Amino acid sequence: MSDGDYDYLIKFLALGDSGVGKTSLLYQYTDGKFNSKFITTVGIDFREKRVVYRPNGPDGVGGRGQRIHLQLWDTAGQERFRSLTTAFFRDAMGFLLLFDLTNEQSFLNVRNWISQLQMHAYCENPDIVLCGNKSDLEDQRMVKEEEAKELAEKYGIPYFETSAANGNNVSKAIETLLDLIMKRMERCVDKSWIPEGVVRSNGHSSTEQLNEEQEKGRCGC
């Protein structure tokens, strides 16, 4: 990844309470590994990964793959770093908002994080994917899937139950976010706007969650 031989640099940022597994999720995604030891993130960090993006339109006209260089910002969930981490919100095109399925407070704080994003992100309604992490710890679960889905729907964002430990849904969550970003980019760039409905039906297989609010996403483009 030392060369600029990619087509797009896409920047995501993971946020959420301390200990929900942001670092682990990203580590799982980029390296396929998991370390159960909790090492708190000092302020800010990022990981990188190359992926190929193939829009999987139902028409099968995927076109050639786009080479994506992902910059995945990892933020400290600790309150003391807050001013620092929120400053990075504006640099990201999309957000992975995590909570811990075994920690109800981290779920309750999701709305706070969303309002932080609305305040500090590059636009008022950025693309967000909500991840209920630690799905492998089913016996300790404190947040029901329905509750989480409901909340996600309220905000019009996709929801996944992920496990940084076993990798379940990790790639899917991030790829969904990528899909949202690529679609938004198309809309922004293309002067002949694709009607929103079409965009939606064109959506990624796992993006049924896209809804009206989300689509209103004016980022000023």
Partner 1 sequence: MLASLVHARHAERPRGVPAVSPRPAMALEPEALLDLSFLTEEERSCIARVLQRDWQLRRREEGRISKLRKSVSDPARLRSLTGDWFCDARAQRHQHQLGSDLVRASIRRRRRPRGTGDPERGPSRGELEAIDEPLAEEKEEEDGALETDQSSPTEEVQEATEPQPSPPAPAAEGTPMSQPLLQGDNIPAREQDSPAQPGDTGGGNPFGSSSSEEDEEEPDSAHSSHNAGQRPETPQTDQTPPAPPSPQNGRSPPSLLSTSSSVSSLSSSTLSGSLMSLYSEGELGRVAVRGRVQFSLRYDPAGKELQVHVLRCRELAEAKRQRSDPYIKTYLLPDKSNRSKRKTAVRKRSLDPVFNETLKYKLEKRDLQGRTLNLSVWHHDSLGRNLFLGEVEVALGTWDWANTRPEWFSLQPRMPIPSDGLASRGSLNLALKFIPVGSEGGGMPPTGELHIWVKDAQGLIPLQSGTVDAFVQCYVLPDDSKASRQKTRVVKRSLNPLFNHTMVYDGFQAKDLAEACAEFTLWHHEAFSKRQLGGIRLSLGTGSSYGLPVGWMDSTAEEQGVWKRLLQQPGRWVEALLPLRTNLVPRA
Closest CA to 38 of 164, 167, 139, 138: 164
Q: In the range 125-184, which residues lie near partner 1 by CB under 8 A?
A: none
Binding of partner 1 by 43 (CB under 8 A):
yes
Phi, psi of 15 (to 5 degrees): -140, 170
From 42, 108, 194, 198, residue interacting with partner 1 (rule: CB under 8 A): 42
Binding of partner 1 by 34 (CB under 8 A):
no
**142: buried, middle or exposed (CB in 10 Å: 19+, 13-18, 0-12)?**
middle
* Nearer to partner 1 among residue 136 and residue 179 (C-beta): 179
Give the Cα separation of 183 and 78 in Å (integer): 32
- Are residues 77 and 45 in contact, defined by beta-carbon separation less than 8 angstroms? no
Site string for partner 1, 46-65 (x = CB under 8 A): x-x-----------------
* Nearer to partner 1 among residue 89 and residue 160 (C-beta): 89
| Contact region with partner 1 (CB under 8 A), list: 55-63, 81-89, 132-140, 156-164 | 81-89
What single-letter DSSP state applies at residue 61? -
Angle, to 10 degrees, between the axis of helix 82-89 and the axis of helix 110-120?
Answer: 60
Give the Cα separation of 34 and 31 in Å (integer): 8
Binding of partner 1 by 118 (CB under 8 A):
yes
Sign of the CA dihedral 40, 22, 73, 50?
A: positive
Q: In the range 179-218, which residues lie near partner 1 by CB under 8 A?
A: 185-186, 188-191, 218
Cβ 24 to partner 1 shortest distance, Å: 18
Give the Cα separation of 2 and 86 in Å (integer): 28
From 2, 36, 58, 60, residue interacting with partner 1 (rule: CB under 8 A): 2
From 137, 142, 199, 219, residue interacting with partner 1 (rule: CB under 8 A): 219
Phi, psi of 127 (to 5 degrees): -75, 130
Site string for partner 1, 9-28 (x = CB under 8 A): x-------------------
Q: Which residues bind partner 1 (CB under 8 A)?
A: 2-4, 6-9, 42-46, 48, 71, 80, 83-84, 87-91, 93, 118-119, 122-124, 185-186, 188-191, 218-221
